[in-house]
Amino acid sequence: MKLKIGILTSFDNTYKKYIGACRDLNVDYEVVDILAPDWAQNVKKSDCRGFLARPPSDFQERKAFFDERLYCINKVLNYPIYPSWEELYIYENKRMVAHWLEIHGFPHPKTHIFVRKQDALKHLKQCAYPVVFKASTGSAAKLVNIVKNYSQARKIIGKIFGLLHPVMASGYNGYSFRGIPIPLPGANQRHYAIVQEFYKIKWEWRVIKIGDSFFGRKKLLRGNFASGSHRVGWERPPDEVLFLVNEICEKGNFLSMGVDVFETHDARFLVNELQSITGIRSGVKMLADDKPGRLRLIDDKFVFEEGEFNQHDGYLARARHFLDILGSSCADLDNPLDGAQEK
Ligand SMILES: Nc1ncnc2c1ncn2[C@@H]1O[C@H](COP(=O)(O)OP(=O)(O)O)[C@@H](O)[C@H]1O
Ligand SMILES: [Mg+2]
């Protein structure tokens, strides 16, 4: 049977980049609506060997149900998905990223995650300021707030956990316009707080690894924030950062991973984010001497190869990597559901 790939829908049009990629790769595909109420039927009646996914990055609730549906597809129905369930579970989940980095001992900003109000207040009463509050899901620094003192922190904690009881939690997002808070309750975080030590950073490196290709660049600061600054430094990342990214991807068996690394003023590299699918618009991910290309790790050295490797904003590289994996692991698999039924 000819290999056919499923493309799962996303809230926005991003999944269409997978369509463009499959067309360019001349591979049979079917779009399967994972957002529809009858999504499970759609998956089961398709004759796809595996599914390409692009989870939402806007609201935590949307990400949570996407995780659940991917769990059903990959862990219950036993279909391969790309990227892997494990790397998509930590995607847009800053709590999980902090746990993962801590457990594996990778250098990262000191992060405290509180799920009880009294623990948060106890810490915030005695910690050094400023601290960084961030929501678990969010991008472009929209839900990242630098908090200068305890009185500010206590107000935020009241909103997140509720003044007298959790049912009173109005939630918090920190959106404001010229200092005036804007109530956007749909973006509010509730019932947990992520509090990080504040680091003086020079910039943030972003390295993306898809298959065996590495792409890297610098995100420069605008004010306090590199994320969302739209200021790019087209420079090859230091080898130390590239090897760190390689080690992280090996540890997590990550297939497609963007790693953001702070370079601090005191010359440390700290892993700030792991994002399986980064929200890059431009097709170019790496330039060296003004030439587009990629890096590959060959004989313990990162070697630059000139060329265009980012068609469809990297979705072609992801689709191709998935095809390689399916080609080698699913050659004899007629129906992935067979495995599920045996269990
Ligand atoms: N612990 C920190 N210390 C100093 N600056 C930080 C810290 N955490 C985040 N920032 C700044 O805020 C930006 C956004 O934070 P980040 O955690 O990357 O969230 P987002 O998902 O919005 O990109 C970062 O690019 C960095 O400039
Ligand atoms: Mg970021």
109 lines ligand 1 (CB under 6 A): yes
The minimum-distance atom of ligand 1 relative to the CA of 141 is 22
In angstroms, what is the span from residue 152 Cα to ligand 1's centroid? 19
- Looking at the CA of residue 94, tell me the nearest atom of ligand 1: 17
Q: State the Cα–Cα distance between residues 185 and 83, nearest whole angstrom.
A: 31
Ligand 1 contact via 204 beta carbon (within 6 Å): yes
Q: Which residue has the higher pLDDT, 229 or 77?
A: 77
For residue 132, report the distance from its CA to the centre of ligand 1, in Å: 8
pLDDT at res. 281: 55
What whole-number distance in Å separates Cα of residue 126 and Cα of residue 123?
A: 6
Topology at the third CATH level for domain 199-312? D-amino Acid Aminotransferase; Chain A, domain 1 (3.30.470)
SS3 call for 215: strand
Any atom of ligand 1 within 6 Å of the Cβ of 92: no
Measured by CA distance, the residue closest to atom 27 of ligand 1 is 225
- Atom 26 in ligand 1: which residue has the minimum CA distance? 225
Contacts of 167 (CB under 8 A, 6+ apart): none
**Whole-number pLDDT of residue 286:** 72
Measured from the CB, is residue 198 less than 6 Å from ligand 1?
yes
The model's pTM is 0.92
Report whether residue 131 contacts ligand 1, using a CB cutoff of 6 Å.
Answer: no
Name the one residue in this structure whose structure tokens are 């630098």.
146
Same fold, 111-197 and 199-312: no
Centroid of ligand 2 to alpha carbon of 46 (angstroms)? 36
Q: Read off the pLDDT of residues 331-343 as tens digits, 9 standing for 90 and up.
A: 444 444 443 333 2
Residue 238 pLDDT > 70, yes or no? yes
Q: Is 85 in the pocket of ligand 1 (CB under 6 A)?
A: no
Q: For the segment 136-152, what is each residue's pLDDT rounded down to a tens digit?
A: 998 888 889 999 999 99
Fold classified for 4-91+320-342: Rossmann fold (3.40.50)
What beta strand segments (E) does the chain contain? 4-8, 28-32, 50-52, 81-82, 111-114, 131-134, 144-147, 176-177, 180-181, 193-197, 201-210, 213-219, 232-233, 256-264, 269-275, 287-288, 291-298, 301-306
Q: Report pLDDT digits (tens) over 246-283.
A: 999 999 999 999 999 999 999 999 999 999 998 655 55
Is 8:52 a contact under the CB 8 Å cutoff?
A: yes
Tell me the pLDDT band of 2, cut-offs 50, 70 and 90: confident
Q: Does any ligand 1 atom lie closer than 6 A to the CB of residue 147?
A: no
CA 109 – ligand 2 centroid, Å: 13
Residue-wise pLDDT tens digits, 68-105: 999 999 999 999 999 999 999 999 999 999 999 999 99
Q: Which ligand gives the minimal distance to the CA of 143? A: 1
The DSSP element (H or E) to which 153 belongs, if any, is helix 150-161
- Among 160-169, 183-192, 291-300, 321-330, where is mean pLDDT lowest? 321-330
Mean pLDDT of 316-329: 90
Give the pLDDT of residue 283: 58
| pLDDT exceeds 80 at position 328 | no
Burial class of 12 by CB neighbour count within 10 A (0 to 12, 13 to 18, 19+): exposed
* CB of 112 sitting under 6 A from ligand 1: no
280 Cβ inside 6 Å of ligand 1:
no
For the residues of 25-76, what is the DSSP string, one character each? TT-EEEEE-TTSTTHHHHHHHS--SEEE-----S-HHHHHHHHHHHHIIIII
Mean pLDDT confidence for 33-53? 96
For residue 115, the SS3 value is: coil
In this predicted structure, what is the pLDDT of residue 329? Answer: 59
Ligand 1 atom index nearest CA of 143: 22
DSSP code of residue 225: B
3.40.50.300, 3.10.20.30, 3.40.50.2300, 3.30.1490.20: which CATH number matches 111-197? 3.30.1490.20
CB of residue 258 inside a 6 A radius of ligand 1: no
168: left (phi over 0), alpha (psi -120 to 50) or beta: alpha
Q: Does ligand 1 have an atom closer than 6 angstroms to the CB of 132? A: yes
Q: Is the distance from the beta carbon of residue 199 to the nearest atom of ligand 1 less than 6 Å?
A: yes
Which numbered atom of ligand 1 lies nearest the CA of 221? 27
Which residues, other chains included, contact 6 with Cβ-Cβ below 8 Å and sequence gap of 6+?
29, 30, 31, 32, 43, 46, 48, 50, 51, 52, 79
Ligand 2 centroid vs 332 CA: distance in angstroms? 41
Whole-number Cα distances in Å, 248 to 41, 47, 128, 227, 306 = 36, 34, 30, 21, 25
Domain boundaries, the chain: 4-91+320-342, 111-197, 199-312
pLDDT for the residue numbered 280: 57
Tokens for 118, please give them. Answer: 């009294």
Nearest-10 crossing angle of helices 315-329, 15-24 = 60
